[in-house]
Chains A and B, each alone.
Chain A
Amino acid sequence: MTDVPAELRSGRFDHVVDVRDVVVVLGAFPALAGASLTVDRGEIVLLSGPNGAGKTTLLRACAGLVPIERGRASVLGLDVSTERDAVRRHVGLIGHHNGLYSDLSVAENVRFWGSTVGASSAEIATAMQRMGLDGRLSDLPVARLSAGQRRRTALASLVARRASLWLLDEPHAGLDAEGRDELDSVLRAAAAAGATIMVASHELERAGSLATRHVRVVAGQVVPVSGGAA
């Protein structure tokens, strides 16, 4: 389900994410100042760094949500600047919000997001099952879920709409210990199934144990910390 889409399997790209010397200016502020990073399929890459260093901007640049002034960024071989809509169809971004509708049930939310890409009922059922949302939880309105359950519903929505690259901004924020454990196991399973995951987080111990590679974003540039080059 999180496999790279068939039309993109032709070897047009070497890395799922390939960011080279990217400069992003927000207002007069250079949020990214020559950032470079490559991420391969199945990796979970932790982005750490101080507030305002450019972690969120790097995730948003990969999703084509901020204009790139200089440099080049590609996702699944697609240029983020010139093939923005195609990139977005393969990317799932969960920031501080989950993008859910609180009046709808868990199943209705996942079905809605799946239907934006024409996902079948079987795909939607599998997405919910993988996030542990089948059974009693599926009919509950999102408004009645815990923070952890909402986050899992949002991730199930990413699976249902076949996102290959997951961009998660502070995914552990607001979760209790149980919710964090649940989230980590879900992310590990997703990566094992082929999803590529980038996590921006301040929680180095928690996210560090989850990640297969750790990079720091400092003053708009990416610096390797562990697990290989940026």
Chain B
Amino acid sequence: MLRTAKTIAAKDLRIELRSRVIANQVIPFAALVMILFAFALDSDAVLERVAPGLVWLATIFSVLFIVARSFALETTDGALEALRAAGVDPMGIFLGKTLALATQLIALEAVLVGASVVLYRADVSASGGVLLVTTAILATVGLASVGTLYGGLAAGAKGRETLLPLLLLPVVAPVLIGATRATESAFGTNGIDVSEGWPWLGLLAVFAVLFSVVGAVAFGPLVDD
């Protein structure tokens, strides 16, 4: 299973290095969303207050594109069916695609946090940085797991481009809430102390574990059907 996961993740990341779709299209899209929010809100005080939510909202919108891209690779020439027809361990496929997705998401989040510091004047202390990194890791695992699970579910469906957001956005609401609250603490938004952010990581951890386990178990039957 681990060998399969490593093979799948390496393949997905090699394709991204070759095609640069995430680097040249999705990350600029997310940065553009941040810039447009800055234009729309046009107030430093408001921007500073809403920066954590905007970072995670832009991340979640971008997840839709990254997941769609991840499964377009598998469905364009029937590779996902070929993987299943070849008896490749579905748990390994799930873990590999989740790992590749998480790697891409971490890069995206680094850019978005950087953008929020520049555009929204977000301020991160050393202890806030630790909270922010932990938040990003847990939220990324959750988003990557649920994204891979629902991406696999939508991959064979008609109208998958519109189905994926409908399936995914309601489910990731806990990540949006938990990650935003924790990031508010990390940024010190409205004078919130860093210590107030840590309890929200429990929600993110539960979400990450739940969807990692459910995804690993359910992915095979879902893509087989």
Contact = CB atoms under 8 A, between A and B. Distances in A.
A97 B4 contact: no
Interface stretch (B33-41, B42-50, B80-88, B162-170): B80-88
B78 A108 contact: no
A112 B77 contact: no
A26 interface: no
Mostly, the B contact residues are helix
A161 B73 contact: no
Given A101-B11, A104-B15, A108-B14, A92 B86 contact: yes
A65 interface: yes
Contacts of A99: 77-79, 81-83
B137 to A, nearest CB: 28
Interface in B48-96: 73, 76-79, 81-88
B18 interface: yes
Contact of B82 (A87, A89, A93, A103): A93
A30 interface: no
Interface residues of B, number: 21
Contacts of A113: 86
A103 to B, nearest CB: 5
A160 B74 CA distance: 19
A162 B201 CA distance: 46
Contacts of A96: 78
A107 B19 CA distance: 17
A103 B18 contact: yes
Interface in A126-166: 141, 161, 163
Contact of B7 (A87, A93, A116): A116
Contact of B77 (A93, A102, A108): A102
Contacts of A108: 14
Given A104-B14, A112-B11, A89 B87 contact: yes
A8 to B, nearest CB: 14
Contacts of A87: 87
Interface in A168-219: none
B7 A115 contact: yes
B79 A63 contact: no
B73 A86 contact: no
Nearest to A97: B78
A43 B81 CA distance: 25
B207 to A, nearest CB: 30
A100 interface: yes
Nearest to B93: A116
Interface of B: 3-4, 7, 11, 14-15, 18-19, 73, 76-79, 81-88
Given A93-B85, A97-B78, A102-B76, 8 more contacts: A88-B85, A92-B85, A97-B77, A100-B77, A102-B77, A103-B15, A104-B15, A112-B11
Interface of A: 63, 65, 84-89, 91-104, 108, 112-113, 115-116, 118, 141, 161, 163
29 contacts: A65-B81, A87-B87, A88-B85, A88-B87, A89-B86, A91-B86, A92-B86, A93-B82, A97-B79, A97-B82, A98-B78, A99-B77, A99-B78, A99-B82, A101-B73, A101-B77, A101-B79, A103-B15, A103-B18, A103-B19, A103-B73, A104-B11, A104-B18, A108-B14, A113-B86, A116-B4, A116-B88, A161-B86, A163-B86
